[in-house]
Chain A
Amino acid sequence: MLGTTMLGTPNSTSIGFFLAFVSLTLGITWWAARHTRTTEEFFAAGRRITGRQNGFALAGDYMSAASFLGIAGLVATSGFDGLIYSTGWLVGWPVVLFLIAEPLRNLGRYTFTDVVSFRLRQRPVRIAAALGALAVVLLYLIAQMVGAGNLIRLMFGLSYETAIVIVGAVMLVYVLFGGMIATTWVQIVKAALLLGGAALLALLVLARFGFNPLRLFAAAAEHYGAAVLAPGKLISSPWEAVSLGLALMFGTAGLPHILMRFYTVPDARAARQSVFWATGLIGCFYLLTFVLGFGAMVLVGHDAIVAVDKGGNMAAPLLAEALGGTPLLGFIAAVAFATILAVVAGLTLSGAAALSHDLWVSVVRHGNAPHEEQLKVARIASVMLGVLAVALGLLFKGQNVAFMVGLAFALAASGNFPALVLSIYWQGFTTAGAVAAIVTGTLTAATLICLSPTVQIDILHHAHAWFPLKNPALVSMPLAFLAAVVVSLAAPEAAASAGYAAKERRMILGEQ
């Protein structure tokens, strides 16, 4: 198997598929650009996306190359453990549906900061929440860009720097000209390709095992021992397990680029339908990934996968090549590239919304910026973030970025989620409480990550770490809630409390 792989050599099939995807999405962008004239169209696709379309786009925004290649690789190299991550990433979605999606759509316009600041004093809350959002977006961007550079180098044989610049440039074209309309359709196309590709691979794998996944798992257990169906090294202690679980479950409900998607649909009902679709699609995707991981373990083999990439990230592409030769490898490689582009575009757009809508328009201009100015600032912010994403990608070359995705989820669960959920449901929540929650959650999570074994031992090679857990959510998320409650109770805010009834009415009934 090894030595015969075409992986890492630019071949006409993968380049052909990739160029086809880029041409199609640039065509979409050209069409979208003619419908992107207002801020509402730039940030919220004119609120004309249907629930089902938004469900696909949410899935497209969420299923990153890291989860496709990373989880398939984790399953291929350690079996059952991959399922712990998959379930964690899925169970956040019902929470988004029950607690966040509909109130968010009814109360806000472009960003989740709209909701947090709804009945509170605008400037302090906007500044804190926008900075919290930007922290999550930047970390997520670094992880995606560095991952993109490495993956594209492995799959297409391009240099790391070339790959980063291509991703940055193409993504910026989508965002700059096509805004949210183009970004949404890129995500829909990408979600369909990714799910279709994963389903095709899974069918080809299962065809060799009488379409019975249990026969596949049994074959894996026969080769590598029953340990592949049992927990391995991923969960070392119960505290670690709960901390990671908290970050994964509540982090989803605090990711700015995911929350922003709920503004692209016309009403709360459509927001609800979109989570229904997203949960179904993402759940199917993780079940498929599990089959692909075991397929790669049995059909490609553990040693061949680890020989190409120690982390196992190339398991799915190698499986594609084993099943369908160079054409299928080319297709899957192009899908992975497309996946990165779509996620990075969504992140950039949400960062641009925080910079222009929250910080420039609401804080600097007190909400009174002419229309053309808003759009112009939004585009300048997009370019700044695009350049920053490329620069950070180059700066963090060679770093282990897996922990940054974990940090982004922990920051989102600690910095953004507590303030968001309390602002929606707690009458006694105050401006000072919101700022305290965001600052405490973000700073505690960031500090504890720096003191964690991942940074202290794995990166800095110190003998011991000050904080025992790899993921800080178990400490930082409760602390954020505590800070919010204590500060709010210590100094009640009459105006915020009085505004609650009007907020509740609009949260349930929408704008009237």
Chain B
Amino acid sequence: MTLGLLSRQRWRIATTLSAVMIVVYFGFVLLVAFDKPLVGTIIAPGLSVGVLLGALVIVAAWIVTWIYVRWANSHLDRRVSELRAAGPPA
């Protein structure tokens, strides 16, 4: 794999995961802004839709972080060491 290809692959993964985080977080914020009654709905004793979704935003941040680290630790690091071993381009 060439450096340019690896760089583009990293860019695709980084932007996709960033977009997921942006959609999740701004989805939450906009839901709070536009539909307060829904967010305040109690779904179980002590639990509202808002509290559940807020906790899920935190969990979502952990999940996307974990996905990236897993990909980078296995795939990215291996390709990087291959490219480093191959030496500078002619």
Same complex for A and B? Answer yes
Binds B, one of A272-280, A361-369, A433-441, A464-472: A272-280
Q: Do the beta carbons of A238 and B34 come within 8 Å of each other?
A: yes
Binds B, one of A22-30, A224-232, A258-266: A224-232
Bound-state Cα–Cα, A217 to B11, Å: 42
Residues of chain A contacted by B34 (CB below 8 angstroms): 238
Residues of chain A contacted by B90 (CB below 8 angstroms): none
A217 with B51: in contact, given A88-B25, A94-B65, A235-B29 (CB under 8 Å)? yes
Q: Report A469 CB to chain B, min CB distance, Å.
A: 13
Q: Mark out the residues of chain B between 45 and 64 whose CB falls within 8 Å of any chain A CB in the assembled complex.
A: 45-48, 50-51, 54-55, 57-58, 61-62, 64
A238 with B3: in contact, given A218-B45, A231-B40 (CB under 8 Å)? no
Name the contact of B47 in the complex, choosing from A93, A97, A214 (C-beta under 8 A).
A214
Q: How many residues of B contact A (CB 8 A)?
A: 52
Q: Report B42 CB to chain A, min CB distance, Å.
A: 6
Nearest A residue to B66 by beta-carbon distance? Answer: A276
Q: Do the beta carbons of B88 and A87 come within 8 Å of each other?
A: no
Nearest B residue to A214 by beta-carbon distance? Answer: B46
Q: CB of A384 within 8 A of chain B?
A: no
Q: Report B32 CB to chain A, min CB distance, Å.
A: 5
Residues of chain B contacted by A157 (CB below 8 angstroms): none
Could you mark each residue 18-30 of chain B with 1 if its beta carbon is under 8 Å from any beta carbon of chain A, else 0? 1001101110111
Q: Report B1 CB to chain A, min CB distance, Å.
A: 11
Q: CB of A299 within 8 A of chain B?
A: no
Q: Report B6 CB to chain A, min CB distance, Å.
A: 6
Q: Report B41 CB to chain A, min CB distance, Å.
A: 8
Q: CB of A4 within 8 A of chain B?
A: no
Q: Do the beta carbons of B14 and A99 come within 8 Å of each other?
A: yes
Q: Do the beta carbons of A99 and B65 come within 8 Å of each other?
A: no
Q: Is the interface of A mostly helix, strand, loop or mixed?
A: helix
Q: Do the beta carbons of B65 and A86 come within 8 Å of each other?
A: no
Q: Mark out the residues of chain A between 74 and 121 whose CB falls within 8 Å of any chain B CB in the assembled complex.
A: 80, 83-84, 86-88, 90-91, 93-95, 97-99, 102
Q: Do the beta carbons of B48 and A226 come within 8 Å of each other?
A: yes
Q: CB of A508 within 8 A of chain B?
A: yes
Residues of chain A contacted by B18 (CB below 8 angstroms): 94-95, 98-99
Residues of chain B contacted by A218 (CB below 8 angstroms): 45-46
Q: Do the beta carbons of B54 and A87 come within 8 Å of each other?
A: yes
Could you mark each residue 213-243 of chain A with 1 if its beta carbon is under 8 Å from any beta carbon of chain B, else 0? 1111111110000110111000101101110
A283 with B61: in contact, given A214-B45, A425-B11 (CB under 8 Å)? yes
Q: Do the beta carbons of B73 and A269 come within 8 Å of each other?
A: yes
Bound-state Cα–Cα, A504 to B8, Å: 10
Q: Report A254 CB to chain B, min CB distance, Å.
A: 15
Q: Do the beta carbons of B25 and A245 come within 8 Å of each other?
A: yes
Of the listed residues A229, A238, A245, A272, the one surrounded by the most CB atoms of chain B closer than 10 A to its CB is A229
Q: Do the beta carbons of A229 and B33 come within 8 Å of each other?
A: no
Nearest B residue to A237 by beta-carbon distance? Answer: B33
A97 with B65: in contact, given A230-B36, A508-B83 (CB under 8 Å)? yes
Q: Do the beta carbons of A272 and B39 come within 8 Å of each other?
A: no
Bound-state Cα–Cα, A283 to B58, Å: 6
Q: CB of A42 within 8 A of chain B?
A: no
Name the contact of A90 in the complex, choosing from B3, B51, B58 (C-beta under 8 A).
B58
Q: Do the beta carbons of B17 and A226 come within 8 Å of each other?
A: no
Bound-state Cα–Cα, A299 to B64, Å: 36
Q: CB of A286 within 8 A of chain B?
A: yes
Residues of chain A contacted by B39 (CB below 8 angstroms): 80, 230-231
Q: Report B43 CB to chain A, min CB distance, Å.
A: 10
Residues of chain B contacted by A237 (CB below 8 angstroms): 33
Residues of chain A contacted by B72 (CB below 8 angstroms): 102, 269, 272
Bound-state Cα–Cα, A145 to B43, Å: 42
Bound-state Cα–Cα, A280 to B50, Å: 21
Q: Do the beta carbons of A279 and B62 come within 8 Å of each other?
A: yes
Bound-state Cα–Cα, A508 to B77, Å: 10
A249 with B58: in contact, given A94-B64, A97-B65, A226-B48 (CB under 8 Å)? no
Nearest A residue to B54 by beta-carbon distance? Answer: A83
Q: Do the beta carbons of B80 and A509 come within 8 Å of each other?
A: yes
Nearest B residue to A209 by beta-carbon distance? Answer: B46
Q: Report A262 CB to chain B, min CB distance, Å.
A: 15
Q: Do the beta carbons of B65 and A275 come within 8 Å of each other?
A: yes
Nearest B residue to A286 by beta-carbon distance? Answer: B58
Nearest B residue to A100 by beta-carbon distance? Answer: B14
Q: Report B89 CB to chain A, min CB distance, Å.
A: 8
Q: CB of A287 within 8 A of chain B?
A: yes
Of the listed residues A227, A231, A276, the one surrounded by the most CB atoms of chain B closer than 10 A to its CB is A231
Q: Report A206 CB to chain B, min CB distance, Å.
A: 12
Which of A's residues lie within 8 Å of B, judged by CB? 80, 83-84, 86-88, 90-91, 93-95, 97-99, 102, 213-221, 226-227, 229-231, 235, 237-238, 240-242, 245, 249, 269, 272-273, 275-276, 279-280, 283, 286-287, 425, 504-505, 507-510, 512
Can you spell out 7 A-B residue pairs with CB atoms less than 8 angstroms apart?
A83-B51, A91-B57, A95-B18, A214-B47, A218-B45, A231-B40, A237-B33
Instruction: List 15 additional A-B contacts (Cβ < 8 Å) besides A87-B57, A504-B4.
Output: A86-B54, A87-B25, A87-B28, A88-B25, A229-B42, A229-B47, A230-B48, A231-B32, A235-B29, A242-B29, A276-B65, A287-B55, A425-B11, A508-B7, A510-B80
